[in-house]
Chain A
Amino acid sequence: MDLLGHYNYYVVVILMMIGLYAVIARGNMVKKIMGLNLFQTAGFILFISAGKIIGGSTPIYREGVELYSNPLPHVLILTAIVVGIATTAVGLALALRIRETYGSIEDEELVEDDGEDWSFGDR
């Protein structure tokens, strides 16, 4: 059991738990989005750190190199990062609109079905 050599997994787990705690325990919407970002970043680190092969060099094809690190996780996580940015943008846009129509962004105080209409003039 290589306890110290697996430090990348410890980082993943710690970040994941901090992010998940922020999403669940914090009422402010912007803090929830920040927690979501941390949580997603932990997932990314899991993928990328697993791509590094011990003794492998950078994955650019050249003479005399036998073992390359795996470039595929990087490409996958690039896609996932873009997805994370889009999620953050949509979340912040929603938080902005909620602030304008409700006056606050504390999630616990807000009620979904209070029947108030949101007229189209606000768009």
Chain B
Amino acid sequence: MRENGILRIVTRLLIPLIMLFALYIQFHGEYSPGGGFQAGVMFAAAWILFVLIYGLEAGLAVIPERVMFVLSASGALLYAAIGLLGVVLGGNFLDYAPLMEDSQSAQQAGIILVELGVGVTVASVVMLIFSLFARRRGEQGESWPAEGDD
């Protein structure tokens, strides 16, 4: 699909916008609709759009599979670390109040950090699922539709 001019130009415009919008949703999750999961899926959708147009190898050159693996685990560990931080500082698990002095900003800080962990994990997992499925199809010997089909 690289040959098709319309697709190429539209995705060049759209992909950065999608990623920016994903970051916007990520960081506004604590006082408006949004949060980690939605943002992660949108970010992964932008990467998948890139792969659809430019091919899987180009996509994996941007983010190798090994990095996706490590990111997915580290996002979950960030979430757990924030929870344990609450315990270490004297509260219960996932207690945000001991994190900062002002109770409202403590809640905001806690929520933003755990949502960041969720967003990283979700984005990397969705990208990983797509790349594992797509790589398999290539290995089976069935090729993608030939370039210049349309």
**Nearest CB of chain B from residue A49's CB, rounded to whole Å:** 17
**Nearest CB of chain A from residue B110's CB, rounded to whole Å:** 16
* Contact, CB under 8 Å: A60 / B136: no
A14 to B70, CA, bound (A): 42
* Contact, CB under 8 Å: A89 / B31: no
Which residues 18-72 of A sit at the B interface, judged by CB distance below 8 A?
A: 60
B interface size (C-beta, 8 A): 10
* Contact, CB under 8 Å: A89 / B129: yes
* Contact, CB under 8 Å: B37 / A78: yes
B144 touches A (CB below 8 Å): no
* Contact, CB under 8 Å: B31 / A60: yes
Contact of B136 among A78, A81, A82, A96 (CB under 8 A): A96
* Contact, CB under 8 Å: B140 / A100: yes
**Nearest CB of chain A from residue B2's CB, rounded to whole Å:** 26
A93 to B137, CA, bound (A): 12
A14 to B136, CA, bound (A): 37
**Nearest CB of chain B from residue A52's CB, rounded to whole Å:** 15
A interface size (C-beta, 8 A): 9
User: What residues on B are CB-neighbors of A60 within 8 Å?
Assistant: 31-32
User: What residues on B are CB-neighbors of A93 within 8 Å?
Assistant: 132-133
Q: A82's closest neighbor in chain B, by CB?
A: B37
**Nearest CB of chain B from residue A29's CB, rounded to whole Å:** 15
Q: B126's closest neighbor in chain A, by CB?
A: A85
A82 to B31, CA, bound (A): 21
Interface 1/0 per residue, B61-91 and A, CB below 8 Å: 0000000000000000000000000000000
Contact of A96 among B31, B122, B133 (CB under 8 A): B133
A96 to B133, CA, bound (A): 9
Which residues 90-128 of B sit at the A interface, judged by CB distance below 8 A?
A: 122
A82 to B37, CA, bound (A): 8
User: What residues on B are CB-neighbors of A89 within 8 Å?
Assistant: 129
A100 to B140, CA, bound (A): 9
Chain B residues at the A interface, C-beta cutoff of 8 Å: 31-32, 35, 37, 122, 129, 132-133, 136, 140
Can you list 10 contacts pairing A with B, beta carbon distance less than 8 Å? A60-B31, A78-B35, A78-B37, A81-B37, A82-B37, A82-B122, A92-B133, A93-B133, A96-B133, A96-B136
Pairs of residues from A and B, 5 with the lowest C-beta to C-beta distance, nearest first: A89-B129, A82-B37, A78-B37, A96-B136, A60-B32
Besides the known contacts A60-B31, A78-B37, 9 further A-B residue pairs in the complex with CB atoms under 8 A apart: A81-B37, A82-B37, A82-B122, A92-B133, A93-B132, A93-B133, A96-B133, A96-B136, A100-B140
